Structure 1
Amino acid sequence: MKEKLLRTCLVLMAALALLTTTALADMGPKPQLRVRVENPPQGLYYLDLIAEGGLDRTHPNLSDEDRAELDEGLLQSLLDAVPDGYHACLAQGTIAPMWGDLTAREDGVHFFNYVGVPAAYRILIVTESGESWVTGPLTRPVLQSSVSVDWADKSVSTPPVWLAYVLQFLATFLPTLVIEGVVLLLFGLSSKKNWRVFLLVNLLTQIGVFCSLGLTALREGVGLGYYLLFILVEVAVLTVEALLYRRFLTGTSRGRATAYGVTANLCSAAVGWLLAYPVWNVLSALC
């Protein structure tokens, strides 16, 4: 009877997992590229991303209704300007679907979004006056990034990615120091030696957190996979810090030092869980 009940529970859990996976398959952050055009061409122009490869197994990203609203002649000029060995991602399609803007929005930005946005690309601009320009090869270093194109001097600039990495590290390191430092005071463990241990332990573990969670957030976004990894990483950090504090904190018992490590990490992990998405959202706007 117990074995039958166990098998039933396992089947139900597997079915639930399958349903959950299906429901969440399209959830979470998606690749995005924001292209801002400075000193844009006079009159109508189209801008598209082009990527290497042919048109095998492409997904049409422009519907018949979308095409009906476009200038047929300018669209054909764009297709004619695509270099050999490349394809226009929005005008001709991609292996996975994506959405985008051939024409700029009111703020001068072209948005390209969804899973088909290429990681390696070039930008093609064609104008109604007959001009065309293709940038050199570019890459999307993080999940959601931006690039600025100056039509007047035919140049391209991108935000410094290192800044996003530094801010991502500080966004977890500094709040952790504040929260766990307050808990250290509340546990009555404040001493010169203990503060040195506290700083060194947190620097060590936060470097590990950045190399796992921080880089994951920037490159893949904060979604279901990130939060699953978050749990595993925080369990590891809690274990490591509790053991280190048990060994190196002075003026207290090992049990109290271990309790501090567990309590401090639970508090900082709770705050990190809540701030993960807002922090990533802000940093994505800077990339």
Structure 2
Amino acid sequence: MKKKAIPLVLAFVFCLLLPLPARANAAEPPQLSVVVLNPPQGLELSLVFSWEGQEEPVPAEATRLAWEGYYLFRPFNFPGFWEGSSSPQDMAVALLVETPEESFTLPLDTQFLNQDTGAYYNNLCVLDLQSRALTAGQPWWRQPLLVFLRVALTLLLEGIVFFLFGYRQKRSWILFFLVNGLTQLFVNLLLLNFVGALGNLYSAKLAFWFLYLPMEILVILLELFLFCPMLKEKKRWNAVLYTIAANLCSWLLGGALLAYLPI
């Protein structure tokens, strides 16, 4: 029975890897994405397009994840006289910021809007309400903090499972942190590179099923390969069961983090 456990698990994982027909339809990526840290209640952002006496405001699609507010401007909402790189040279664009207490505008370089959506998909603009400044890119600490949070929460959950399976020896815990720390860091860095900043706003389900889930399956196989011969505090089948249980919990937690925590 013990000898059959690992082949059965591998066969089950292999079945999960078999291709299945799927259909996907995602919204057009935003042409401009503005992030506001801890946005106040009632904050509204709009792009105001002006050309030859015409003025047309375009409100942002607003949403929030954790401490970040996201304000997305999609091309299909832009006025008719905006035509990407062929837009009139004298067209002016401003970002209108409105709160219940105040409102102000920030001039916007139209070059921001002339980039392809694919290029701007991975760009962030951060709006600082106190200094009234719009900065391209993101704070240097943002991605390290998010990766740390995801890895730490996953290690905490898997550590609880590890403890419940009866592992107490120092050697076992050192192996746990080495293997799980490296694999979870690898998964999160791949997510960051392939999904990209703000990707979870409109591709969380696709990222979960077609990227995160296959990576977790590979992680299970890798951890089975490492834990079974090296985790010697208990019998081998115990290591197999722990690896499957811990990664199932990690899989569920990862799906929740993709939906509720920024990427």
TM over 0.5: yes
Residues in 1 aligned to 2:244 and 2:178: alpha-carbon distance in whole angstroms: 17
Tell me the SS of whatever aligns to 1:33. strand
Task: Report percent identity of matched pairs.
Answer: 24
Tell me the SS of whatever aligns to 2:84. coil
- The answer on whether the counterparts of 1:147 and 1:157 sit within 8 Å (CA) in structure 2 is yes
- The answer to whether structure 1 residue 169 and structure 2 residue 161 are counterparts is no
Residues in 2 aligned to 1:109 and 1:279: alpha-carbon distance in whole angstroms: 29
**TM-aligned CA deviation for residue 245 of structure 1:** 1.3
Closer, same or farther in 2 for the Cα pair 1:145/1:242, shift >3 Å? farther
Residues in 2 aligned to 1:92 and 1:238: alpha-carbon distance in whole angstroms: 50
Residues in 1 aligned to 2:26 and 2:151: alpha-carbon distance in whole angstroms: 31
Residues in 2 aligned to 1:218 and 1:158: alpha-carbon distance in whole angstroms: 16
- The answer on whether the counterparts of 1:146 and 1:159 sit within 8 Å (CA) in structure 2 is yes
1:185 counterpart (141, 159, 163): 163
Closer, same or farther in 2 for the Cα pair 1:146/1:120, shift >3 Å? farther
- The answer on whether the counterparts of 2:95 and 2:107 sit within 8 Å (CA) in structure 1 is no
Residues in 2 aligned to 1:279 and 1:230: alpha-carbon distance in whole angstroms: 15
Residues in 2 aligned to 1:109 and 1:33: alpha-carbon distance in whole angstroms: 16
Residue matched to 1:272: 254
**TM-aligned CA deviation for residue 105 of structure 1:** 2.9
Residues in 1 aligned to 2:155 and 2:226: alpha-carbon distance in whole angstroms: 16
Q: How does 1:1-287 map to 2 (within 5 A)?
A: 17=22, 20-21=23-24, 24-26=25-27, 30=30, 32-34=32-34, 72-73=52-53, 92-94=82-84, 102=94, 104-107=96-99, 108=104, 117=113, 142-146=122-126, 157-158=135-136, 160-219=138-197, 221-222=199-200, 223=203, 224-227=205-208, 228-280=210-262
Closer, same or farther in 2 for the Cα pair 1:151/1:47, shift >3 Å? farther
Residues in 2 aligned to 1:278 and 1:193: alpha-carbon distance in whole angstroms: 35
**Structure 2 counterpart of 1:221, one-letter code:** G
Closer, same or farther in 2 for the Cα pair 1:145/1:237, shift >3 Å? farther
**TM-aligned CA deviation for residue 140 of structure 1:** 5.5
Tell me the SS of whatever aligns to 1:26. coil
**Structure 2 counterpart of 1:208, one-letter code:** F
- The answer on whether the counterparts of 2:126 and 2:134 sit within 8 Å (CA) in structure 1 is no
Residue matched to 2:15: none
**Structure 2 counterpart of 1:234, one-letter code:** E
**Which one has the largest radius of gyration?**
1
TM-score (norm 1): 0.54
**Structure 1 counterpart of 2:231, one-letter code:** L
**Unpaired runs of 5+ in structure 1?**
1-13, 37-45, 49-61, 63-69, 76-88, 122-138
**Unpaired runs of 5+ in structure 2?**
1-19, 37-45, 56-77, 86-91
Closer, same or farther in 2 for the Cα pair 1:195/1:94, shift >3 Å? same
